[in-house]
Structure 1
Amino acid sequence: MGDIKRADFYDGPAHDYLGYWKGRDYEHAAERIAIDRLLTGRHFANAVDVGGGYGRITALLPRYADHVTLAEPSSRQLDIAARFLDKGIERVQAQAARLPFATGSIELVTMIRVMHHLPDPAAELAEIARILTPKGTAVIEVANLGHARNRLRRLGRGIPTEPVDIRSPENRHDDEIPFVNHNLDTVTRQLSEAGLRVERSLSVSNLRSGALKRVVPHRVLLGIEKAAQPALARMRFGPSIFLLVTH
């Protein structure tokens, strides 16, 4: 992530990111479905999970890469990762805008649930482009400002082109981490400016609803999710869009 304040947010004892994922089995499984759909049948020499916290997504990558590294700015999250991840996965403390990898050295980069902390992701996207090999691949998740429910709320007004901070006014303090949703057209342009192009997209966590999760069996939710991800991507339906990008 972009700076020390953002790392400090996840270092503090008040923020239990591992605990945050308890009760979010559907969201985790939906993201795993997306990762598998985008990467199945491909294999890489090395992969880096940028801003991966304690390694929730990093743990999925050894099936797709010979050598996997978690690059995370928070020392506390890295300490948790040391217990959560297999010993063969490397861990380095690093900001997403200053990654300690040689230019053109990484075949696969993932950056999941990081963009919503980046009101201006230009430096981070440029850094991903820098470290990727000429034919490298990245999977980047974007918190979608134009998801279906938001489009209904904003009917007749359109979707802002700039990121929108979704924190309540009382929680918007300069010393706290931003939480923004992005316009996908703007992100596509920013990726292009970094030298990256979108090859494929998936709409993810399409059934993210506490009410649905209480009444619909987990396996049924995931069956619908798996079937819907490609089709709903064309509508930019879901709150989370996974982008497969290349040079």
Structure 2
Amino acid sequence: MSVLVLCLAGPLQSWGSAARFARRSTEPAPTKSGVIGLLAAALGRDRAHDVGDLAALRFGVRIDQPGTLVRDYQTAHHFDTGKSMPVSERFYLSDAVFVAAVEGDPTLITQLDTALRTPGFLPYLGRRSCPPSRPINLRFHHDRTLEQALRDEPWHASPWYQRRNRRHPTVDLELRLEAEGADTLVDTLRDQPLSFDPHHRRYGLRGVHVAEPVRKPNPHARSTDAQVTDHDPTAVLEGL
């Protein structure tokens, strides 16, 4: 098996796993269906194309910079009648950074890495209004598992975010892996893609295992080796 590691960063991201009427929410981390859709687009596939080979890939994601949840609302008019459509709520993650990975057949992983360099369709982070701000493909491995690749990858949070956490020499990053048989602490999410056909979109349930956090050094942490002196700033007040 081979692993392709991705960086998902942008001003806005939105990874929905459920849509209720006029409310479009987002998960706190990229969904498998969203990332598989991005990869299918990079391969130049249309929405009616079979995605069975991509859906079979094992998926995992690490939260390097959780971002801020923001709410927007949209108005629209029917194209033919001009009638006002219901106001809809849209939720996004602002300034978030994720490291995602897919594991599977080496030939397919190599094809995906090539496709991301010259994508057939422009990639976006969950919705068309959310373009990436960095190159998506980081690297691929032929000698590591999905979990090993996500644990070994450096911390990709923005420099300003790393500096904001400079009081902490290390950071713990949440790690979510597609569940396997022996995994515990498993949650379920309806983001297993079955079909992206706009006339019959279908998604199945998928197990998500929250693994032990990934601990990484903070390159912008304050030094703990500063020289300690006997300076007492209140000494001038003695005797007053």
TM-score clears 0.5: no
Which of the two has greater strand per residue? 2
Which of the two has greater helix per residue? 1
Greater relative contact order: 1 or 2 (C-alpha under 8 angstroms, separation 6 or more)? 2
Name the TM tier (shorter chain).
Answer: under 0.3
Higher-Rg structure is 2
